[in-house]
């Protein structure tokens, strides 16, 4: 998934970069989603301590505490990792709707998420919309992703189970996958195993828009 590996240091850096971007608040009418609170409620529903939950997911308890307290915004890759660990879906944490055998998401009904409910109002380097919310038992997570330009692209790479497909709708996207570094332009696409260290970012000083499909590996 086009995301950034999260640890305490990288998350703090990216939060600061996002806050300094100067993008007007709610420019597109983004919804402020309290993902951290959803993660905490899910953990508590399982009767797990932060230590037990973090160990099952494979992250540090310190990072989990930051996520739950809305100090950092988890990437989609991190949410996939949590969802996989507990056999649930990403929409469980970004807000979804009752699930059934099929899902129709109207353009006007899509929930756009950018700030992901950070307490200080900071924004993440990407804005995304879930396109598969409501489909029961789904094996894929489709998203519309808007990559915001960064002055200093992060160097930390994401690694998690599954596969990812990216199709560039507009702009240019720099892709770093294992030893590969390349630039995808409008109409280009890439399909890779999420177990290969990766990250992507806008290759220009403007927003890039992608269709992203994640197979969570379950």
Question: Is 156 among the domain residues?
Answer: yes
Looking at the structure of the chain, the number of domains it has is: 1
- What DSSP string runs through the chain? -------HHHHHHHHHHHHTT-PPTTTT--B---HHHHHHHHHHHTT--HHHHHHHHTS-HHHHHHHHTTSS---HHHHHHHHHHTT--THHHH-----BS-----GGGPPEESSTT-TT----SEEEEES-TTBTT-SEEEEEEEEPP-SS-----B--SSEEEEEEEES-EEEEETTEEEEE-TT-EEEEETTS-EEEEESSSS-EEEEEEEE---
pLDDT top residue among 69 and 138: 69
Q: How far apart are CA 152 and CA 173, in angstroms?
A: 14
Q: How far apart are CA 98 and CA 92, in angstroms?
A: 10
Question: Is 128 among the domain residues?
Answer: yes
Question: Is 3 among the domain residues?
Answer: no
Q: Which residue has the tokens 């310190």?
A: 62
Q: What angle do CA 132, 138, 142 make, to 5 degrees?
A: 35
Q: How far apart are CA 1 and CA 18, in angstroms?
A: 19
| b/e 200-216 (16+ beta carbons within 10 angstroms → b) | bbbbeeeebbbebbbbb
Q: Please tell me the pTM assigned to this model.
A: 0.70
Question: Is 26 among the domain residues?
Answer: yes
Q: Using pLDDT thresholds of 50, 70 and 90, give the confidence band for residue 32.
A: low
pLDDT beyond 60 at 7: no
pLDDT beyond 90 at 6: no
Question: Is 159 among the domain residues?
Answer: yes
Domain at 136, CATH number: 2.60.120.10
Domain region containing 73: 8-215
Across all residues in the chain, what is the average pLDDT? 77
**Number of Cβ atoms within 10 Å of the Cβ of 7:** 15
Contact 31, 128 (CB under 8 A): no
What pLDDT score was predicted for residue 106?
85
Q: Using pLDDT thresholds of 50, 70 and 90, give the confidence band for residue 184.
A: very high
pLDDT top residue among 13 and 188: 188
Range in 22-36, 103-117, 184-198 the model is least confident about: 22-36
Question: Is 120 among the domain residues?
Answer: yes
Question: Is 35 among the domain residues?
Answer: yes
Structure tokens at 94: 């970004």
Range in 64-78, 91-105, 136-150 the model is least confident about: 91-105
Q: Using pLDDT thresholds of 50, 70 and 90, give the confidence band for residue 53.
A: very high
Question: Is 1 among the domain residues?
Answer: no
pLDDT beyond 90 at 175: yes
Q: Using pLDDT thresholds of 50, 70 and 90, give the confidence band for residue 23.
A: very low
């Amino acid at each position: 998934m086009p995301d950034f590996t999260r640890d305490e240091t990288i998350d703090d850096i990216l939060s600061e970069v996002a806050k300094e971007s100067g993008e007007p608040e709610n420019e597109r009418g983004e919804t402020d989603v309290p993902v951290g609170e959803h993660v905490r409620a899910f953990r508590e529903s399982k009767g797990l301590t932060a230590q037990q939950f973090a160990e099952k997911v494979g992250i540090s308890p310190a990072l989990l505490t930051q996520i739950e307290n809305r100090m950092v915004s988890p990437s989609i890759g991190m949410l996939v990792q949590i969802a996989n660990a507990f056999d649930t879906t990403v929409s469980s944490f970004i807000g979804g709707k009752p699930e059934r055998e099929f899902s129709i998401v109207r353009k006007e009904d899509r929930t756009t998420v950018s700030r992901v409910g950070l307490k200080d109002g900071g924004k993440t380097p990407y804005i995304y919309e879930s396109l598969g919310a409501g489909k029961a038992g789904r094996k894929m997570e489709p998203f519309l992703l808007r990559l915001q330009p960064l002055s200093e692209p992060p160097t930390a790479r994401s690694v998690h189970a599954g596969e990812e497909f990216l199709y560039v709708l507009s702009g240019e996207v720099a892709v770093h996958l294992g030893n590969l570094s390349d630039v995808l332009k409008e109409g280009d696409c890439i399909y890779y195993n999420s177990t290969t260290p990766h990250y992507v970012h806008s290759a220009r000083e403007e927003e890039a828009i992608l269709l992203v499909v994640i197979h969570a590996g379950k």
